[in-house]
Amino acid sequence: MPLLEIVQVGDPVLRALARPVTPEELASPALLRLIDDMRETMRDAPGVGLAAPQVGIGLKLAVIEDPASVSAEDRASREREPVPFHVIINPELTVEESEPARFYEGCLSLSGFAAEVARARAVRVDALDEHGRPITIRARGWYARILQHEIDHLNGTLYIDRMDTRTFRRVE
Ligand code: ZN
């Protein structure tokens, strides 16, 4: 299973509007292989989400998996619970609770940096799975943050567009 190269900020693909996955592409061997490769690349990084533009492919597709391997204190303050591996294709995001939560977040395409970003606390996402079946996700807390971050990628938006600029910093 080859690992894919994660493109870094500055690559135009990260700023382009991704196109929807077509019905013909859904469940195709090529799409399923891409999803497998994205899953392995995300786990290797490691990260909790990876959008297709981050591997240089302008499709409305992202993979998400959060083992929530943080302290009990961080889990509680961030409303962070484990999220099993899944795919979102052609997602539509609706904010359900706009009251923002502010936390540091990073991005595999801005390796080595983090900043505080205000994100809606609860969202609903209507999307397709890899077989083209409609799915509706209702998410709170950290999972809602991951969904907002990944869906931003599909619209050419990065967290640096939303961050509190004075909190931008190097990590480690
Ligand atoms: Zn990202």
* Residuewise pLDDT in 10s, the chain (172 residues): 689 999 999 999 999 999 999 999 998 999 999 999 999 999 999 999 999 999 999 999 999 999 999 999 999 999 999 999 999 999 999 999 989 999 999 999 999 999 999 999 999 999 999 999 999 999 999 999 999 999 999 999 999 999 999 999 999 7
Residue of 111, 116, 126, 11 lying closest to 57 (CA atoms): 11
Helices (H) and strands (E) in the chain, counts: 3, 6
What pLDDT score was predicted for residue 1?
A: 67
What pLDDT score was predicted for residue 77?
A: 94
* Residue located via tokens 């204190």: 73
Ligand 1 mean position, distance from CA 150 (Å)? 6
Helix (H) or strand (E) holding 87: strand 83-105
Ligand 1 mean position, distance from CA 132 (Å)? 24
Ligand 1 mean position, distance from CA 111 (Å)? 10
Ligand 1 mean position, distance from CA 107 (Å)? 4
Q: What token pair was written down for 39?
A: 């899953």
Which positions are catalytic? 150
Q: Which residues contact 75 (CB under 8 A, 6 or more apart)?
A: 68, 81
Handedness of CA 150, 152, 155, 159 (dihedral sign): negative
